[in-house]
Structure 1
Amino acid sequence: MNTDFRFFCSLWLAVLIFGSAGALRAQETCGGNLGENIFEAGDFGSGLPNILTTDPGIAPGYVYSTSPPPNDGFYTITNNTGLWNLFEGWLPIQDNSPDPNGYMMVVNASFEEGVFYEQEVTGLCDNTLFEFSADIINLISQSSASLIKPNVTFLIDGEVRYTTGDIPQNNTWNTYGFTFTTAPGQTSVTLALRNNAPGGFGNDLALDNISFRACGPEAQILPEAVANICEDGSPIPLSATIVGEEYEDPAVQWQQSTNGADWVDMPGGNTGTIMHTSLSAGVYYYRYLLASSPANLQNAKCRIVSNTKVVVVQPKFFEEADTLCEGSLYLFGGDTLRTAGAYVDSLVSSLGCDSIVTLRLSVVPDPGLALETAVDTASCFGAADGRVQVLGVEPAFPPFQVSIGGQPQAGLPASLGGLPAGGYAVRVADRFGCEVSDTLLVLEPEAFFVELLGDTAVKLGEEVILEAIPSLPLAQSSWEGFADFECLGPGCLRISLLPFVDGMFRFTGSLADGCEVSDSLFVRVEEVRQVYLPTAFSPNDDGRNDWFAPVVVSPNVQAIGLLQVFDRWGGTVFEERDFLPQPGAAAGWDGTSGGERLPAGVYTYRAEVIFVDGKVIPYAGNVHLIR
């Protein structure tokens, strides 16, 4: 473990723990280019073990834990918290890099307050701007209750200079940083970090990509796009474009690389413009170092780096070798080739470079390819879940070009699903162009459907008979759209019901293999109230009109809930409840009261009729008693 790594990690562990309410907001981060990271180990490295087993010793005042998750006052270095038995609300995360094994620092903050880290950084340059930054994530999930949020405060030479503010519960890595300028003659700074945590639930975070770099103006090589030149072309100039007035008299050092990673200084490369002079085919990388003075340029901690400019010298001569399947065609330039041989053509590339291409073409016999395939039949009639598979092809040479149903596939084995019944063209070509094709059939089971029959318009109280006629014997069936019905036959394919309101009735049937069909029928119910109130009756025992009561039709009417008759002075002469008159039967008022015959005349009645749908409707009027 190098000293820079220990210092930097310790510093940022401390910084992350909850800032003071009185701390100043940070200065802006660098608006120009940055130098190389002084802390090369700021990304914590990478490794296969989930937990770094050796204590890195980077967090004064904290204890290293190899038994995650760490408790209060503990920290650990890990590449994935998702492999832990996490505390409630903690995020399963990896580090903030493309490396799946990249490490990060996970901190469960201490309850103690105050300055807990102080470190001097030496070897800096005076009058130089630096940026200090890190990636931080609040480990509490966005979906959890709002808990204490990490907040960072730190000091430079005893002065509060930076605070992150509350780090949000947003399930996202956030980059925090600030810039500061060293004073004239100053070559070192003392950095101190303060924990102002109130204690309690929360205050948990992860840290990654700690960076401490020189900051300067925008240092560019324009345009940023790759520069392409021809092998027989001319050298091109590369110019340093410096945007900003941070450096009064900037010092420049151009560098060159053959791979974009390892850089060497270019002799005499201290001017604003250099020439790319090599016209040998290849890829060349350029950048320049920039500092406020020649002395600072010599100090890797005090200089910044421009963008990387890529120059590609396009070759004039190309050689290609390819193999053709016997009987196939090969397009080369404007020619169609069928036989083996060496062929030469000249062309002008899209970059305007003259090129001479030599093709050495071989021809192999067509081996007569054979496909290994499989087809899954659609599960049910009308279903789109069939599948065509190409499992292999022999004898052939990969890589393969495969298409199923006209859709390109990514090599073998290949599969295309979600298919309705039908034929699907399959084509496979090997690396030499030898090919084989076939049409594979996705079959469909026997037609399966159901038809629902029955009355579509009835009057209230009328019986409805519905019948389902399936095309195949059913294993299960069900009816929907009503609560009460009566099965009228085996399998309940025919039912009887008394609908009260309009409704959609649905039958669903399924086979033993789970295939399912359904049909629906809309039944309209006419709201007819079948009640007749006589205007006269003659109780003379002649068998005709001897009783007064509402004349009703059942089951349209369920009952007469109340029938009352009053004389002309309002006295009740008859009352009966909850009865249902039947045709030809004695029911209602017989013209007597208390066993005595009442005189002829006009009487007033009131009735309440209960219908099959539960509605109660009142009726009232006069009836003539005739003697």
Structure 2
Amino acid sequence: MCNLLKVLLSSFLVFLSTITFSQQVCNGALGDPVININFGSGTSNFAAPLSTANTNYLYVQDSPDDGEYTIAKSTNGMHNQIGNGWHQIPNHTPNDPNGYMMVVNASENPGIFYQTNISGLCPGTTYEFAAWIINLLNYSGKKPNITFTIETTAGAPVGKYNTNDIEDGPTPKWIQYATTFTTTNQTDLVLKISNSGPGGIGNDIALDDITFRACGPIITSSVNNVPSNISVCEGNSGNYALAANITASTYVDAVYQWQSLTGNIWTDIPGQNTTQTTVNLTGAAIGSYQYRLITAERQNINSVNCRVASDPLTITVTAKFNTIASNNSPTCIGSSVQLSATEGTTFKWTGPNGFTSTDKNPIISNTQFDMAGDYTVTATLNGCASTSTTTLVVLEPFLTTSFTSVETCENNPITLFASGGISYKWLPSESLSSSEIANPIANPKETTTYTVTASNGICSETATVKVIILKNAVADAGADLKALNGYSVILNGKVTGDDVSYFWTPNDYLDDPTKLNPKATPPFDITYTLHAQSNAGCLNSTDDVLVKVYPKIVIPNSFSPNGDGINDYWTIPATEAFTNTRVKITNRYGNLVYQSNGVYKPWDGKFEGKDLPSAVYYYTVYFNEDFETYSGWIFLTR
């Protein structure tokens, strides 16, 4: 689109004799656009600036101020004060959210803010110029007053069209301004758009979709004498008469050409050069076929810039269709049956006992056995008739259901059973594989009563089934225990489940292995296993507990390191069971005389290799975190 905005500078002066310029829209047929300036489209919020040949305003990628413009998708964020700013609007181009528009903030000095060259015009041809403009102010301010001027490339004035004041207000409104003019011998002109008032508080506009198109006579077209588009059925298409009535023509030597649309391109139909023609669509594929008549002065008929076209005539070949008949049976005697057809605009139903209906989905009320049987429908769509299709209505007596209570182990899914319906609804649904089938798989965590509603479409019946959950046997031997040799501990066994038995292994040093809380008196470390067994056939379970047995702690309070081989060392027998014993011995003044960390080394009554005198000494002994630190006195005698 940027190429359309470039000014085509002429190197010679075109002589202008006379051009008539009227302030009105074209009342006849229009041609394809000579120019269509919509400022392009893109992914970014702002487009590149226009050529300096198009405008002398200053380009910004922001909210334009006086004498500035931008090319943007919308005015969102531009002077967006509520009641004292601009309307927040998108561009005008239909069906193009990525399209751009020119946003103009008028200069303090009125003048031209946009211009472009128009080339390829035909002499003696009427053209319509049109542009869409919106006053951006959302409050009362200076009113834009836009003047469109057409000149020769040499600058000679041709004519002007003025919009007068474009009103502002709380509601934004795009307005199309259009006018027509007729050339004599000119092919190149210049369009100039200027703002007649100064900028300041107001006089701000957006401009979009500028078009120049040839304007011709009024053309009224028809197909098979029908002044509108028509549809035909696949396989029934044939010859179609196209006709165009031309009125108010100003052409001196008018010629005509019928065209058909191929893809997006209008193509001449060879030899079809009158206002009437015939097209043959025998065997045509499904789809739309479009035709139009173009007309112009004889010398201009081959120029797309100089001819006009009728509105397209469309012949739509519609696919054959088949409506599908159905109903909601089987259902109960005495209830209603809904017949249904899938497609069509008109319908004709027939059935048993002289049944007829023209409804799409008729209802048979208060059904009886003699109303069962085949029902047939024929439909039409876009004038095409479908083949007849049939649906069988089945009437049944009320259904029956039966259920019983069932038992199952925890986490052991069980299949529920229902029959007699064509649809089912189970509640609650959370623990079911499906809530809408006859035989869902249930896996509840707790005993649950399920309700099922079985239905054949109209009749329904509700029943219940109770699923009793037998809990699995679960053993809990409790936390590990600690004991001193010769002492007893109580095992803290627990079991859960339905109909559970239990016992301990091994049974060594237990007062009763069949109790949950037996007394254990082991002489050494031992692991006991609690067995929980489900008498209902559910899962069994085991759990272990360790009883850690420590030796009995005896700390002597005297020894005699005199070298006679008897009681020469202060020995603590229990330290053999500990790997990180910490022993400290002090004299009565608190001075450290002996220390052992790790594997205990018996004390020989010496300090720094010398015998200590007979006296009372004081000790602390740390075995591990399971025991408090022991303290006391020792009598050393020699």
- Normalising to structure 1: TM-score of the pair? 0.49
Q: If you compute each CA radius of gyration, which structure gives the higher value, 1 or 2? A: 2
